[in-house]
Amino acid sequence: MYTTLIALAAACSQAAAANSYNNLHNHEQAKREGKSVQGKPVTHLFRRGGTCAFPNHDGMVSVQSSGQNGGWAMSWDQPCSYGSWCPYACAPGQLSGQWDPDATSYTYPQSQYGGLYCDENGELQKPNPQNDYCYDGKGTVVAKNSAGSGVAFCQTVLPGNEEMLIPTFVDGGSEEVLAVPGTEYWAGTASHFYINAPGTSVEDGCKWGSSSSPQGNWAPYVAGANMDDSKNTYVKIGWNPVYLEDSCPFKNDMPSFGIRIACDDESQCLGLPCEIDPAKQSVNEVSGGGSAGAGNGQFCVVTAKNGAKAKIEVFQSESKAKRDVSHHRHNPASTRTTIAKVMTA
């Protein structure tokens, strides 16, 4: 049973990782080449003159508001233009209940159509009136910070551009509930997080970064979670494939902090231990029976059964060593992507 569940989770995760990789690169290539959707530039789908202001009500949370996005969970240089879909963030532990009801599969560009619709008259339309703007996730996964400084968990925007813009900040010695979707969420996808080093603010960590610093999309670790209809919660931690790229200047540097999955009732959890501890592992290694995902990034999955709760714990740890490059060689052609969008069949 254990082997079957973990194998199933790993197989589905790798398939989803490939989809995510392809979608992200299709989006980037289309932007570079000036491609369009229905005759409009991809960077501003169906753009016309004018923008819709961020509503800032019913639990919606403004993010990176100093850019042209104006608080919407969009790229800093992308306004919420007339005739476009405008995703938004919700409070920690909550999920957006709004997306294009006609976009039912995780394919590009439909995977971009999340949030509210800014119509041609500059009015915001609520596409799923039966859903709240924000609603509570399953509540079965908590981020626990056992490190000294605050930690930024940055959730990707999906449906949306999949940038890590949705913040959950966990103070040292405290816990915060993470957003865990069930099968009701858009296209059955999971939530996905980038985990920044202790001391990184959400302003610095929850945005698209650069190779000058291991934060944002260059953060060392990623995590994902979702629940199936049998109340099994699948929780995943792993290495960010971007951190392992040949062009990454810190690809051989072991972080000074680790992450692990813990359960309140270990008898209800399959897959333990699931841990990345710099004192025990090297770069791109995980404890137990890890698997390789996108970009050969190693990960492990824990299944919390019957509605049991799990924690993703961040802790300080001294580095064991730099990685053995020959032992952990990977394929750079399959990196630069988010991973683990769907972890169950």
CATH number for the domain harbouring residue 317: 2.60.110
Per the DSSP assignment, residues forming a β-bridge with 117 are: 85, 125
Question: Residue 83: is its pLDDT beyond 90?
Answer: yes
Q: What is the pLDDT of residue 306?
A: 97
Q: Mean pLDDT over residues 93-122, rounded?
A: 97
Q: Mean pLDDT over residues 137-147, rounded?
A: 99
Q: What is the pLDDT of residue 47?
A: 44
Q: Mean pLDDT over residues 207-235, rounded?
A: 97
Main-chain dihedrals φ then ψ at residue 242, nearest 5 degrees: -65, -35
Residue 117 in any domain: the answer is: no
- Left if phi > 0, otherwise alpha if psi is -120 to 50, otherwise beta: which for 340? left
Q: Which helix (H) or strand (E) holds 310?
A: strand 310-316
As for how many domains the chain has, the answer is: 1
Question: Residue 275: is its pLDDT beyond 90?
Answer: yes
Lowest-confidence range among 120-124, 227-231, 319-323, 332-336?
A: 332-336
Residue 195 in any domain: the answer is: yes
Q: What is the pLDDT of residue 30?
A: 45
Contact 340, 17 (CB under 8 A): yes
| Structural domain for 250, as ranges | 137-334
Residue 19 in any domain: the answer is: no
Q: Mean pLDDT over residues 269-296, rounded?
A: 92
Q: What is the pLDDT of residues 22-75, one digit of tens each?
A: 444 444 444 444 444 433 444 444 444 799 999 989 999 999 989 999 999 999
Q: Are strands 298-304 and 60-61 parallel, antiparallel or unpaired?
A: unpaired
For residue 127, whether the previous peptide bond is cis, meaning omega lies within 30 degrees of 0, is no
Q: Tell me the one-letter amino acid at 106.
A: Y
Q: Are strands 310-316 and 141-145 parallel, antiparallel or unpaired?
A: parallel
| pLDDT level of residue 343 (50, 70, 90 thresholds) | low
Residue 325 in any domain: the answer is: yes
Residue 231 in any domain: the answer is: yes
Residue 159 in any domain: the answer is: yes
Give the whole-angstrom CA distance, residue 108 versus residue 17.
14
Which residues make Cβ contacts (< 8 Å) with residue 130, sequence separation at least 6? none
Give the whole-angstrom CA distance, residue 292 versus residue 312.
20
Lowest-confidence range among 8-17, 171-180, 311-320?
A: 8-17
Q: Is 176 helix (H, G, I), strand (E, B) or coil?
A: strand
Mean pLDDT in the chain? 85
By the 10 Å C-beta count (0-12 exposed, 13-18 middle, 19+ buried), 44 is classed as: middle
Residue 306 in any domain: the answer is: yes
Contact 285, 298 (CB under 8 A): yes
Residue 78 in any domain: the answer is: no
Q: Mean pLDDT over residues 73-93, rounded?
A: 98
Main-chain dihedrals φ then ψ at residue 190, nearest 5 degrees: -95, 165
Q: What is the pLDDT of residue 295?
A: 87
Q: Which helix (H) or strand (E) holds 118?
A: strand 116-118
Q: What is the pLDDT of residue 327?
A: 40
Question: Residue 110: is its pLDDT beyond 60?
Answer: yes
Q: What is the pLDDT of residue 290?
A: 84
Percent of the chain at pLDDT > 70 equals 78
Task: Supply angle C-alpha 186, 190, 196, rounded to 5.
Answer: 130
